[in-house]
Structures are given as structure tokens and as C-alpha cells.
Structure 1
Amino acid sequence: MLDFWNGLSRCLDHGYKGLFLALLGLGLGWWMYVPVHEFMHVVGCVVTGGEVRELRLDTIYGGRLFAQVFDFVKVGSAYAGQLTDFDREPDLRYLSTVQMPFLLTIFPAVWLFQKCGREGRPLGFGFLLPVALAPFVSITGDAYETGSILATQLPPWSSPEMRELLRGDDLVLCAHRVSQAAFSPWGGWALSSLIGTVWAFAVYGLGALISRQLTSP
């Protein structure tokens, strides 16, 4: 990612102070973005008429606090956070649920991330990095899940059994399920991974396009 390396280079013009501020911003940005990301999944489900029954959130990201406010929030997760029980039907609702957090990537995160990088603002650069690069961080998670929803529209993998095997927000776990199946649909898994990767670049690319439009004279 040229934006990352160019921005990091500008931030490091400030020396160790720039590196420290970038890392501080990264830590703060990640800590704040995790719950925002998960609750945007919730919004994506609810605005399409779905119901969320369980969102698991680790304590360090405010799981205990949010659990006191929202009945569906449960403390503790194998991941930083995960929407574990929600309405997935129809598929458009499922897609909306998965996609919603990445609206922040498209705008304003990429635009501000590039701006901070160009101007050598290490704290802002680090803070925005988790949001701007979220599609790539999600290659094995939400990106794969997006790909699996789309891939399982195709006849070879559109049966309920294939959807159960291929769909999910953990590429590695889905690969394990596929490997244990009597008839392993590796083609569907590979296509899901490919679509997810293309999707990640497309999301960032759309954000970069908007950024260019906003910064061009």
C-alpha cells in the first residue's frame, strides 16, 4: 500500500517522536474502532428489518460497559468482537450487516488517512489507519464473508448444505469445515477468498477515488 508507506515516511520525518505518536494513534484508533465496527454491523442488520440477538465484545473494548446498556451484548469473545447471532435472511440483509462498517472506510477514513499522511501528522495517521485499512485487515474475516455470500449465489454452491459450509466470518474456520466435509467444495472456498480480496481493494479504491475528488484543485 503506497499510501501507507508514503504516509509513514512523512510521519517518520519527525523522528522517534513521529513514530511514538503514530503508534499511540494506532493503539487509540484500534481500541475505539473495534466497538464502532461491531455496532455498525448491528446497524446494518437492524436498518434492514433484522434482529440482533447476540454481540460478543471483549472486556478491553468496553464489553462490560456496553452489556449494561444493551441486552444483546455479551462479555468475552474469541475475537476482539463478533456478531454471533442475528437474522441473516434474506441475503441482502446479510450483506448489509457485513458491509455497514466499511462505509466509514469509504468516507471519511481514507480521505483523512491520506491527508494526514501527506501532511506528516503522525497521531492522526496512526489513529485513522485501522479504519482506512479495515478491508485489508478483514481479508480473513468480513472480506471472506462477503465473498462467501456472493459465491454461494452460484449453482455449484447455492444449496443450503454448501452455504452452511462456506459462509462465515473466519476464513480459516471455514477451510477447516470444508476439509472435514464428505465432498469438500474447495472451489467455492477459493472463489469466496478471491472475491473477498477483490472487494477489499475495491472498497479502499472507492475511498481513494473520493479522496482524489476532494483534494483535486
Structure 2
Amino acid sequence: MQVIKLTFLALCTTLVSAGHLLTLRHRYKSGTDLLVNDLLRLDEAIKTITTAANNYTGGQEGYEAIRESFAEVNRTNRIAYRDAMTIMPQTIEESNQIISIVSDPIAPDITTAVDAVIAKKSLIDEAGFRQETADGLNLISYDHDTLSLVAVAPKLNPLTIPAAAVPVLRIDLDWRRGVAAFGGVPLAPLTKGGLQEASDQEHDRQ
């Protein structure tokens, strides 16, 4: 009897391990982990904007850190875009995991970053970087829209699009708020409605 129990337990352990491996293999093939890691790296880049802005005390030399933080966000955003274009259509669970990362920490960290830059508006204006700041935020905003609409939305499960639209709209409004604060005109359209359209178009092709 003891041998039968041990054999049964060993079989159950094997089945659980096999199931776990299959799940990991699917996640690897589907690209979920790849995109999640890209998004987490993007969040780290976004936080460099906050740090650079908080440390800015005026002048041309000090602005270089803000300039570099903008460039780093653009760089990591474009890596996420390229990777998102390669991933498979996501399950509901995988889609929700991606949306969860966008909702928190990315969305609140963007709010913090934009607030930090706006807080240094007078110093940035005095140093002559008002237009450059507006342009930099505009490019980030445009790249965000491209990542959301062109690369990620078509891969999300359609049932999760309404949930995705909430943090995406918040992010859009924050970047646009930053652009407007420095006298710029936002280039990118609001993506809330566009998410559903992009998702529908992708699934019509499948």
C-alpha cells in the first residue's frame, strides 16, 4: 500500500511539473515574458525622468540629465515596440498580466515623471529649453501611442481591451499635459478608442 501511495505521489509531482513546464513553454513562445520584461525596463527608464527633473537646479549643463532621460525612455519604448510586434496573440490571462504592468507601476510613474518636469518649468524656461522639453515629451507621447496602438493592442485578447483603455488613456493625458505645459501641441491622438479599433482589425485578419 505504501508503495502505491509513493508511486501515486511521484506521478502527481511529475504531472504538476510537466504542466508547469508546458505553461512556461507557452509563455516563452507567446512572448508574454519578453514584453513584460520590456515594460518593466521602460518603467525604470521613466523613473530616470523623475530623478533628473528633481535634481535639476537650472542651467544648460544640468539639463543634460533630463535630455538623456528622455532619450532612454524613447530607446526602451522602441525596444518594447519591436518585441511586441513579434509576439503571439495573448490569452486573457496573459493580456491581463500585461495590462497590470501598464496600470501599475507604469501609469503612476509617468504621472510622477510629468509632475516632476512641470515643477521645474520656470528653471527650464530660464535656461532656454522650453521648446526642447515640449518636443521631447511630444516624441515620448507619440512613441507611446505607437507602442499601444500598433504593437500591443492587436496582440491583446479583445475581451481585455476595455480594461487596457483605462491606464492607456491616463498615460496619454499625462504626456499631453506635459507637452501643453511647455507650450507644445500634442502630436499623438488620444488612444482610448483606437485600442479597440486596432484590436478589431488584427482579429479580422486572423
Report the TM-score range of the alignment, normalised by the length of the smaller protein.
Answer: 0.3 to 0.5
Q: Normalising by the residue count of structure 2, what TM-score does the alignment of the two structures yield?
A: 0.33
Larger radius of gyration: 2
Q: Normalising by the residue count of structure 1, what TM-score does the alignment of the two structures yield?
A: 0.32
Larger helix share, 1 or 2: 2
Larger strand share, 1 or 2: 1
